[in-house]
Amino acid sequence: MSRPSMWMYLAAATCVLVMAGGCASASEIQLDNETITSSPSNMASNSVMSDTPALLEFDTGDETVLATSSNAGESIDVSPFTPTTGRIAVYSDCVGSGRITIAIGNVAEFSYDCRENADDAAHGDELDVDPSGSPSISVKTDNQELWTVTVVAVPPL
């Protein structure tokens, strides 16, 4: 066999072995400096394809949006907003296995379990605020879950 033919044969054989090795029943996967060894018993929990629901987009209709923020797994303080009425609604969603905590200045704090499946509900809370104030929003999650928060003005009761 000539040298070019031998190298092509070796290259083809290597490709076949690499592809066949990827189909083994137990394998190791390297993700962000973490090695996960998959086997039939833990394959579902370590799956790259997840059943975690997507974040919801809130339909605010004709409500005036005062503040909105989404973040991929970090805590954040959102700039102060000025209420246009004495009442606001806070719509929040997070996905994953932890909790989300939302603080509206020194006025209120809400804490909820994040949604682990699409059937779980997002949250909406209404509260009275000082219309001459400028509260800020602080959002924290336990395990760097994905989250979104929207604050809208609603008519006073």
Q: What is the pLDDT along the chain (157 residues), one digit of tens a residue?
A: 544 444 344 344 433 333 344 443 333 333 333 333 333 333 333 433 456 788 888 888 889 999 988 886 667 777 789 998 999 999 999 999 999 999 999 899 999 999 999 888 899 999 999 999 999 999 999 888 899 999 999 988 8
The answer to whether residue 56 is domain-embedded is no
Query: Does 92 lie in the same domain as 17?
Result: no
Domain count within the chain: 2
Do the beta carbons of residue 151 and residue 66 sit within 8 Å? Answer: yes
Rounded-to-integer distance, Cα 66 and Cα 68, Å: 7
Amino acid residing at 106: N
Flag whether 146 is in a domain: yes
Collect all residues with Cβ–Cβ distance below 8 Å to 73 and sequence separation of at least 6: 141, 144, 145, 146
Tell me the residue range of the domain where 114 lies. 64-153
CB of 29 closer than 8 Å to CB of 36: yes
